[in-house]
Structure 1
C-alpha cells in the first residue's frame, strides 16, 4: 500500500486518463480485494490512518502515514482473520478502530462490536471493548458480553469518546429488555463511565447525539417491526415520545446544528419515503427542506469540523446533489469538486481542526473510489492519497444507466441497466441480477464488480429495486411481505419486459443470476415465466422456504417474529413458492453455486434443489467451494465463479450460442 500511496502522492488533479485497453479485463481483477478500505485524517493534518487489506483478504491492518513525506510511521497487525474498520482519530496522536469481519458478497466489512485503540507508534495498544474466550485454565481478560460502537469523539475533551453498548442477551446488568447503555470512555486508558441508559422500547436503540454529546433522539423497533421513537426537546429534558409535529412515524437519522436545538432530520410521517426537515427541537416545529415522494433522502452532506449541513446527495433513483444553501462556502467547494470530477459523486470525509485540510472521496459507476486531500490554505491544491482499485485505471468499464418503469399494477419502480462493453446499439444478451434481502437492501448507482464483469463479457445487466427494497420507506418495503414468489417476482418480470420494450435486451437471450434471495429469484423466475429465460444461475440461494422457516425457529425471538411477518406459516403456500418443489417447471439449464460452510443459507438448500433437478433428469451444473460461507471470500474461488459463469452464459446466450433449447 505504501508504494501505491507514494506513487500517487504528487499527482496533480488535472491528469489525463490512459487510453482504453483493447484486451479483455481478467476475471481475477474483478475478484481482487481493494488496496485500501478506509482513510482517516488526523486533527492536526500531520498524519493519515489507513485500513489496508492483505492481498488474500484474510486480514486488514492499520497503517499510519506521515503526510509531510508519505513515509509509513507504523503498520499495526491485529491477527489472522482480524480486520479493522471505522478508523477514527480520537486525539492528535490516538486512533480507535473497530474489529470487523469480512462478509462475502458485500464490498465492505461488518462491525463485530469490539473496539481497540492505539497511539501512533503502537506501543500503547489497548482493547476497549471485547469478549475474550477462556483458554484452559487462563481466563480471558475482557468479558464484555455485548457489542460496542463508537458514536462520538468529544473534541472538547481530548481522547474521550462516547460508546453505545448493546448486550447480547438479557442479563442482570442490562435490564429486563437489554437496555442500551452509553459509556464515556478514555481511549488512552480504557477507563469508562456509564452516562446514559435507555430503557424504552422493545429492542436496542439507535441514538443521535448533539454537539455536547447528549443523546437527543432514540430509535428502536416494536415487536411488530414498527419504529418506536423517543426524544429530548432540550439537553436537560427527560426522554419522551416523539410528537407528530416533528415526525408522525420515524426520524431515520440526522444531524444537529451547533446551537444543539436545530436538527436536520430524515422524517417519515406515515411510513412513506423520508424527507429532509429542519426541526426546532424545543418548539416542536419543522420546515421541509428537500424530498421526493418516491425516494428517501440520501446522505446529509456536512462541511467543516463543526459539521455544518450544506446539502443532500443521493444515488437512487439516480445520482444527484441538492444544496441547502448554494452560497455556503462548503456548498461552493463541493460544487466545484463535482465539476472537477464529472460523472462521479464527491463526499467530504474528514477535516482538520482548523478546517485548512479536507479529506474527500470520489466514486462512480466506472470508478471504484479514490481518496484525495485538499489544502484550502494552498490554493485548494489537491493530491490523491489512495485508490481502492487502481488496476482499473485506464480500463474500459461499463456505464450504469438509471431506469424507471411502471409495474402491471401501476407502481413506479427504479433500477439500473449496465450496458455491455463494446455492445454497440440494439438489443443485447442480458443477465437479470436481482439483489438479496429481499427486505431492506437495494441496488444503488455505483461500481458493482459482478455487473461490471458481466458487462465486460458482452452482457447487459438488469437490476430492479422491486417492492421490498430499501430506500423508499417502510410502506414500500412492507408491501412485499409474504410475496417472495408473488409481487416481488412480478416486479422483476415487469422490469425484464421494460428492457425488452426499450430494445435493451434480446428477448431470445436472457438469463438469470442472483445470490441469496437473488438465487431464489433466479430459479423462481423461469417457473413463473416459461420461455422468457434461457438459463439460470443460483448462488447461495434459498430454494425451499419450508426448510428456511424451520431452520430459523432456533434463532432469536426477533428473528422468528420477522420470518412470521415476512413469510407466514402456511406450509402449503410456502411449498408452492419454493423452486425445489416445482423443479419440473424450471425447464432451463441451471447452475447451482454454494459455499460448503454457509451458516446463513445452509447446504440443505443446495441439496434440495440439486436433488429435485436430478430426480427429473435435469442435473444442474454445480460449483461447491469448501470453507466458503454465504458467498465466496477467497479471490481464487471468486475468480473461478466468474469464469464458470461466463462459460455457462456463453453456452446459452452468448454471441455464438444458438437459441438454447430447454433440457
Structure 2
C-alpha cells in the first residue's frame, strides 16, 4: 500500500499529535500538493511536517513504489510542476521563517524524476545580482516565477512570469513572459504589443492571450497561431461596470472561453468567436446563485471539462468518458467532493483525485479508469476525525435594506442552540470569503463549542454584481450593518446567545471587527482583530514610511470607485476610522500584527495601540516579529490561536460572565 510507505517516510505516527488538539488544526498539513505526470505513469507529492522539511517524492502510479524525488538541507521544497514525464521543477521556501526574516525569493530548480540532473534555473537571493557569485551557468534573476497555467508538458521548456516594478514606488510596470529551457538554462522573452499585466496559455500550452492595463483601461490581446501576430480582442474600463470580459480558456483555435456578465446579475462562461470577436450571449456554463469561477481541464490538447466553484468545487465534463469516471469515483467516495485531474497526455488509465467535505480535510487518491481500482495516497490532516467536526451550511440572511446576504454557518458537532457565537469577517473586502469545505479556523472554533458565522457582506465577490456594487464606498457603513444584521439573524434563529457574541477578522476583517466595537457595542462582547486596517487614508498613504503592494493603477482608478476620495470624503473617512474613533472602543479586544506586514503596514498597529492605550481600553497586544500579512510559521499560528482560545473562553466561553 502507498499510504503506509508515506507515513513511514514522514517519520511520525498519528498518535503523536492526538494529545495536542490545537496542532491538529494549525500544524502544517502533511500532504501539501499532488501532481500527476503528463503520461499518468507517475505522481509527484510535496510532503513534510513540522519536524521534517517539505520534500518531494515521485511514485510509480501502478505500484506505488518511490522512483525518485528530493529533499533539501535547511529549506523546504515549494511548488512543484511537471515539465515533461521525466523532468520536474520546484521552488523553495523556508517555513520556519516569517516573510520579514526571509532573504531569498522562491527561486526555481529543475530535476529529473529519479533525483538526478539537478539544475538551478532562477536565483534565490532577492535583491542580489549574480555578479561575483559562484554561479557557473546561466541563471534567471530572482523576480522570475511559475505561472498558474500548466503548459504543454511535452518538451524541456516551460513559461515563466517576470514582474518588473518601479524602483521607487514598487508599482508593477509590466509582467513579462519568459520561455526557459530547463536543461540548458537558455531563455527568451515572448514578444508582446504592449506592457502586459497578465498572460494565458492555450489548450496546446502556448502563449495566446495577453492583457494590458493603462490609464484605467484594460485591453485583451490575442496571438493568432496562424501567423504569430497579436491583435486586440476587447477593451474596457478596469474598474467600470459592464462590458468587461476575462479570458478563461480555449475550446479550439477558433473559439475562446471568457467570463462575462451579459445577462442578469451573475457572470457566466461564454464562447467568444476569435474571427469576429463576438461573444455568444447564451452561456456555456452558468452557476445559478454564483458568478462563474474556475479553470479548464485539458488532455491531449483538447478541452474535456471545467473545474468550477459554486457553493463548493465541482466539475462539468464535456467528455463522456470523464463523466463515467466521475460517476464511478463518486460512487466509491460518497459524501465527498471529488475533483478529478486527468494527465495532459495519458498513456495509462490513472487519474488524480482530490476529495474533501466540510468535515473531511483533503485526501489524495489515484483512480484507474479501466479497472476501477482506487488507491488512497494520503490525507492532508490525518489526525482530524470527521465525526468530531461540525456541519457547514450556506444560509441566506436579509439585510435591513432588503439585500440578500449569503453566509456560512458552522455549528459544533453536537449541535445545540443558544451557543456562544464567533462572527468571522473575511478580508479583502472585495473578494469571496469562503466556500463549502473543511476550514481549520472555523472547525477549531466549532470544536470549542462556538457557533461560527461567516457573512458574505456587501462588497463580497462571487455572488453577483448586485452584492458587489452595494459595497462601494460603504466601509464602516452598510457593510458594517450587514455584520450586525447577520448577528441578529443568528440570534433570531436560536443559534446564538445574544449575550455571548465576539467578532474576529484579519485585514479588512480586522477593520470591520474594530468598527463593530465602535458602532454596535451592545451587540458584541469582544473582538479579535489581526493585520487590521485602522484608517483608510493611512493605508492609501503607505502607512507613513512603510511600503505597501497596492499598484498605482488601483490607487488612481480603483480607490475612487471602491472607497472614495481622501479629500472629498474626509468627513466620512474620519467617522469610519477605528483609529480616530478608538476612544469609543469599550469592549475587550485582542489586537495582533506582523512586524513586516507590507499590505497593512505596522504603522496601523502602532498608531492604534497608542490611541487605545490613551483611552485605557481593555486590550491584549501581540506583535509577531518577521511576520507579514498573516501567520506563516506554525509557531506563530499555534501561539495566536491558543491566545484566541483563551480570550474567547474568558469573554464568551462557558464560564464567562454575561451582562
Which of 258, 274, 284 is the matching residue for 1:289? Answer: 284
Residue 459 of structure 2 corresponds to residue 491 of structure 1: no
Where do residues 234-633 of structure 1 align in structure 2 (5 Å cutoff)?
A: 235-236=226-227, 238-242=229-233, 249-257=243-251, 259-269=252-262, 273-283=266-276, 284-286=278-280, 287-292=282-287, 294-300=289-295, 302=297, 304-311=299-306, 313-315=308-310, 318-319=311-312, 321=314, 323=316, 325=318, 328-351=320-343, 353-354=346-347, 356-377=349-370, 379-393=371-385, 395-424=387-416, 426-472=417-463, 476-551=467-542, 557-558=552-553, 560-561=555-556, 562-563=558-559, 565-567=561-563, 568-570=565-567, 571-633=570-632
TM-score by length of structure 2 reads: 0.84
| 1:121 alignment partner in structure 2 | 114
Inter-CA distance 515–471: structure 2 relative to 1 (3 Å threshold): same
> Residue 456 of structure 1: CA displacement?
0.2
Q: Is 1:204 aligned to 2:207, yes or no?
A: no
355-364 vs 493-502, which moves further: 493-502
After TM superposition, the structure 1 stretch with the greater mean CA deviation from structure 2, 68-77 or 90-99, is 68-77
Corresponding residue of 1:639 = 638
The CA distance in 2 between the partners of 1:159 and 1:546, in whole Å, is 49
- Tell me the residue number matched to 1:14: none
Q: Is the 8 A contact 1:104 1:631 kept in 2?
A: no
Once the two structures are TM-superposed, the CA of residue 28 in structure 1 deviates from its matched residue by 1.9
In 1, the alpha carbon distance for the partners of 2:6 and 2:77 equals 24
Aligned residue for 1:254, secondary structure, equals: strand
**Among candidates 55, 60, 73, match of residue 61 of structure 1:** 55
Deviation at 1:448, TM superposition (A): 1.2
Task: Determine helix, strand or coil for the equivalent of 1:421.
Answer: coil
CA distance in 1, matches of 2:201, 2:610: 50
CA contact (8 A) 1:8 1:384 kept: no
Q: Which of 141, 151, 154 is equivalent to 2:152?
A: 154
How far has the Cα of 1:52 moved from its partner? 2.0
CA gap 1:294/1:43 in 2 versus in 1, 3 angstroms: closer
| Number of residues of Structure 1 aligned to a counterpart in Structure 2 | 626
Distance in 2 of aligned mates of 1:56 and 1:214 = 40
Task: Classify the secondary structure of the residue corresponding to 1:289.
Answer: coil
**Aligned residue number for residue 188 of structure 2:** 193
1: CA distance, partners of 2:358 / 2:227: 46
User: Does structure 2 retain, via aligned residues, the 8 Å contact 1:311–1:331?
Assistant: no
User: Would you say the 8 A contact 2:39–2:348 is kept in 1?
Assistant: no
State how far apart, in whole Å, the 2-side matches of 1:302 and 1:312 are: 7
Shift of 1:384: 0.6
- CA distance in structure 1 between the partners assigned to 2:2 and 2:613 by the alignment: 52
Deviation, structure 1 residue 360: 1.4
User: How much does 1:307 deviate?
Assistant: 4.8
Q: 1:101–1:492: structure 2 CA closer, same or farther, 3 Å change rule?
A: farther
Paired position in structure 2 for 1:28: 23
| Distance across 2 between alignment mates of 1:267 and 1:435 | 25
Residue 90 of structure 2 aligns with which residue? 97
Q: Give me the whole-angstrom Cα distance separating, in 2, the residues matched to 1:293 and 1:250.
A: 20
Q: Where do 5+ consecutive residues of structure 1 fail to align?
A: 10-17
CA contact (8 A) 2:74 2:94 kept: no
The structural deviation recorded for 1:68 is: 4.9
State how far apart, in whole Å, the 2-side matches of 1:299 and 1:598 are: 30
1:437-486: CA deviation from partner (whole Å, max 9, x where unpaired): 11234222211111111000000111111222232466754543432212
Distance 1:458 1:579, change over 3 A: same
The aligned residue for residue 13 of structure 1 is none
Match of 1:655 in 2: 654
Distance in 2 separating the partners of 1:641 and 1:207? 39
Given that residues 468 and 478 in structure 1 are in contact (C-alpha distance below 8 angstroms), is that contact kept between their aligned partners in structure 2?
A: yes
The reply to whether residue 138 of structure 1 matches residue 133 of structure 2 is: yes
Give the match for residue 167 of structure 1. 164
Q: Partners in 1 of 2:146 and 2:396 — Cα distance? A: 38
Go from structure 1 to structure 2 and tell me whether the alpha carbon gap of 1:223 and 1:167 turns closer, same or farther (over 3 Å shift): same
Cα distance in 1 for partners of 2:329, 2:611 equals 55
Is contact 2:266–2:463 with CA below 8 Å preserved after alignment? yes
1:627-651 CA-to-partner distances (Å, cap 9, x unmatched) read 3332223323322322222222122
Aligned to 1:215: 207
- 1:220-235 alignment to 2 at 5 Å? 220-224=212-216, 227-232=218-223, 235=226
Tell me, in whole angstroms, the C-alpha distance in 2 between the residues paired with 1:7 and 1:145. 34
Q: 1:613 to 1:163 in 2, by over 3 A?
A: closer
Cα deviation code 1:534-558 (max 9, x no counterpart): 1111122222334323225755534
Does the CA-based 8 Å contact 1:8-1:386 persist in structure 2? no
Matches within 5 A, 1:9-24: none
Q: Deviations over 1:270-320 (max 9, x none)?
A: 9953202234323545242221564211334636444533355324xx237
> In 1, distance between residues paired with 2:650 and 2:261?
48
Could you state the TM-score of these two structures normalised by the residue count of structure 1? 0.84
Deviation string, structure 1 residues 571-591 (Cα, Å, up to 9, x no partner): 443332121221232221111
Q: For residues 175-194 of structure 1, what are the alpha-carbon distances to aligned partners after superposition, in whole Å with 9 as ceiling and x for unaligned?
A: x9955544433222222234
Q: Residues of 2 paired with 1:473 and 1:130: CA distance?
A: 42
SS at match of 2:44: strand
Q: Which runs of 5+ in 2 are unaligned?
A: none
Q: Secondary structure at the match of 2:648?
A: helix
